Amino acid sequence: MIQTQGITKSFGTLQVLKGIDLTIEKSEIVAIIGPSGAGKTTLLQIIGTLDSPDSGRLIINGTETGRLKDKELAAFRNKNIGFVFQFHQLLPEFTALENVMIPALIAKEKPGVAEKRAKEMLDFLKLSDRMGHKPAELSGGEKQRVAVARALINNPAVILADEPSGSLDTKNKEELHALFFELREQMKQTFVIVTHDEQLASNVDRVIHIKDGVVLE
Ligand code: ADP
């Protein structure tokens, strides 16, 4: 599902990624761990095609992303990759339902279809009674579940999550992690999760340890 070959990335004189080779299978749940500053977020941004490597190849779901033009890449990303961030990054002026609909509307789905799918997603995440609420009116756990619903709306093959439970308390954290595993069972997504959470890291299929810009194990 995801393959990286010899990915490098520098910011100025700082070489953050020094040749990353990874193969992640369909439906795998992988955690990326490592010290702060090791390059985890940079790698996740590159896998998510939000940033481009200086050299190396990225192949997602059979597509070599480096060959896509900007517009094609944006469409590819919107269809194939869902993102969950540490801070939900919901748009404050929109309701939960509207926030979840956005990626479907960007994918040029008809508004009625986008709304129906968003409602199904929110229902699946037990948020039906919160649909009309704006982010400020939701709890931390609810906001993060809305963000997961938004990540899922286009049924992407890949979900990338950067410290997704970093802002949650223990109960909401455990619920969110359980949700990832449930989604994998039901929808067969591939998850790549940057995390400091040891409990999550001990439960995933595989841990990828990044240090000083290389994969340790
Ligand atoms: P991690 O997620 O493992 O903590 P990051 O990938 O966020 O590490 O960052 C790796 C290094 O790259 C850090 O030293 C960070 O300061 C630097 N860095 C990340 N993004 C940028 C950027 N856009 N410009 C300059 N330096 C950056």
Read off the CATH number of the domain in which 124 is found: 3.40.50.300
Q: Residue 28 is part of which domain span?
A: 2-216
Least confident of 47-56, 69-78, 151-160, 162-171: 162-171
In a 3-state reduction of DSSP, which class is residue 123? helix
Locate the ligand 1 atom nearest the alpha carbon of residue 210 and give its number: 3
Token pair recorded at residue 187: 């929808």
What pLDDT does 91 receive? 95
Of 11, 196, 215, best ligand 1 pocket probe by most atoms within 8 Å of the beta carbon: 11
**pTM, entire model:** 0.93
Locate the ligand 1 atom nearest the alpha carbon of residue 35 and give its number: 3
| Mean per-residue pLDDT, 94-103 | 96
| Mean per-residue pLDDT, 142-148 | 92
Q: Is 38 in the pocket of ligand 1 (CB under 6 A)?
A: yes
| Mean per-residue pLDDT, 161-185 | 89
Q: Whose CA is nearest to atom 23 of ligand 1?
A: 11
Cα→Cα distances 87→17, 146, 176, 195, Å = 24, 12, 14, 13
Q: Is 40 in the pocket of ligand 1 (CB under 6 A)?
A: yes
Least confident of 91-95, 121-125, 127-131: 121-125
In a 3-state reduction of DSSP, which class is residue 137? helix
In a 3-state reduction of DSSP, which class is residue 116? helix
Q: Is 9 in the pocket of ligand 1 (CB under 6 A)?
A: no
Q: Is 41 in the pocket of ligand 1 (CB under 6 A)?
A: yes
